A and B are shown apart, each in its own frame.
Chain A
Amino acid sequence: MTAIERALYELNEIDGYACGSSLMHRLDPRAKTIVTLLYIATVLSFRLDSLTGIMSLWIFPILLSALGGISYNRVFVKSLYVLPFIALIGIFNPIFDRRPALTAGHVVITVGWLQFISICLRGMLAVQASLILVMTTGFMKICHGLRRMGLPAVFTTQLLMVHRYLSVLLKEAASMDCARRSRGYGRRHYTPRLWGIFIGQLLVRTVARAGRIHMAMLSRGFDGNAAIRSTMRWSAADTIFLTACAAAFAIARLADLSRLFNILTLR
């Protein structure tokens, strides 16, 4: 699978999940966006050496994805993609900080490694939260929500347009790439010159397409303001969801949930 094909697959996958009809799907996008941000802020507000604190927040993505009827396994696997870059930065902590933190028999885990695990974990949890947001809401509705939350209309329209033409252009690039490979006689890579011509062609086609879209807009009375109506209504369920989540995050942040888990499981 080429990078383009994978991107197309993921785009479709997200859309597929987003047209579900679970409890989570029916909530207002604004409520879900705020909750997601609150969750990530809570995760990030833990100190790096407070591994148990961060771990205790792990239950929320699992619960929320179950509530949204989406597979947590898939969310988890997708969140692994984020690891390489984080690990690249995080790996320096074990190198620089070698004070012992935990011992298990002869194995000593240093503060640095503890922090490394925390960094990876918070990266994954943050990504999982935003994945659940988009998988239970859909990119489109998030954009409508952002518009209602006061982001400039030019920008939200722009987001919707990019999303709309993403698959169109990815397919166009994929078919051009396929045509090149079929005549590439085993050459797998683009030289910068060939790449310039290829991308230049794609750009020319893109601009031509923009011209046609503009004409289609004009012929339907477009005057510069893309008209989008959204029938978004904040209901009591949204308030309850937001309050409940905020309270749950606050409790998880203030009380040491790991102790509770201990009592539940170990004793």
Chain B
Amino acid sequence: MSHHYVKFDHVSYTYPNGYRALDDVSLLITHGQKVAVIGANGAGKSTLMLHMNGLLTATEGQVVIGDIPVTPKTLPRIRQTVGLVFQNPDDQLFMPTVADDVAFGPINMRLPDSEVDRRVDMALKAVGAYDLKDRPGYQLSGGQKRSVAIATVLSMEPDILVMDEPSSNLDPRARRMLMRQIEAFDHTCIITTHDLDLALNLCPRTIVMSGGHIAADGPTPDLLADRSLLERASLL
């Protein structure tokens, strides 16, 4: 289990329109770490995130998830190992009911029915949304949607959780509940966020991105105390 590290080895990515979103990014995140990725809009956070799951493939360099390089052939295994929670839960909850949505991943993994049921219950309980099981996704509140979106990924029992702006659009209470949930996970967590307070509270380590490359990588309290760094990264 200790193999579940995330390694970016001089990764660059250029979009088809010529925009270079990632520029020579190298990083290593080891098992069980909670890491925040912060940076201004367009700094490359989302592009970075999409690489961890193989939704984008590096134009240069290589992404390795626990000894397995991300290639078209390894995608099914990569996607079971790395769970991606998107920024907008409405994009993640596309099935008729909460239970259908949470079961979507396990069914695609061709698990037997009893195992699918067990995982759906487990994932929903982990985010405190078990009571919402049979509700349609669009009837939920913002906070509930976010919890269920996380459950849809937990049901695949990933080792690494990647979350894009998990606290955006949440009211203070929902945000607090979400932070408590994330705190309780023993997965490797990679969280992209603008919420510096969340980064400080949950993640001992922070990566600051700016213009497609890594501007800084170190202990969160140190980086957030560095005014000039944050100003250079357009975060202040």
> Which residues of A pack against B, CB within 8 Å?
15, 140, 143, 160-161, 163-165, 167-168, 209, 212-213, 215-223, 226-229
Contact = CB atoms under 8 A, between A and B. Distances in A.
Contacts of B136: 15, 140, 164
Given A164-B96, A215-B50, A220 B103 contact: no
Given A215-B86, A220-B105, A220-B108, 11 more contacts: A160-B96, A164-B95, A167-B138, A219-B53, A220-B104, A220-B152, A221-B80, A221-B156, A226-B95, A227-B107, A229-B116
Given A15-B139, A164-B96, A219-B53, A212 B86 contact: yes
Interface of B: 50, 53, 55, 76, 79-80, 83-84, 86, 88, 90-92, 94-97, 100, 103-105, 107-109, 113, 116, 136-139, 152-153, 156
A209 B152 CA distance: 19
Contacts of B153: 220
Q: What are the 7 closest A-B residue pairs judged by CB atoms, nearest first?
A: A221-B108, A227-B107, A220-B105, A212-B91, A219-B84, A140-B96, A216-B92
Nearest to A219: B84
A121 B126 CA distance: 54
Interface of A is mostly: helix
Given A161-B94, A164-B95, A228 B86 contact: no
Contacts of B79: 218-221
Contacts of B92: 216
A53 to B, nearest CB: 40
A222 to B, nearest CB: 6
A160 B92 CA distance: 15
B105 A221 contact: yes
Interface centre among A217, A218, A221, A229 (most CB of B within 10 A): A221
Contacts of A215: 50, 55, 86, 91
A164 B86 contact: no
Nearest to A144: B96
A141 B175 CA distance: 33
Contact of A164 (B53, B88, B103, B137): B137
Contacts of B107: 227, 229
27 contacts: A15-B139, A140-B96, A140-B97, A160-B95, A161-B94, A163-B96, A164-B138, A165-B94, A167-B138, A209-B91, A212-B86, A213-B94, A216-B84, A216-B94, A219-B53, A219-B83, A219-B84, A220-B104, A220-B105, A220-B156, A221-B79, A221-B108, A226-B104, A227-B103, A228-B95, A229-B100, A229-B113
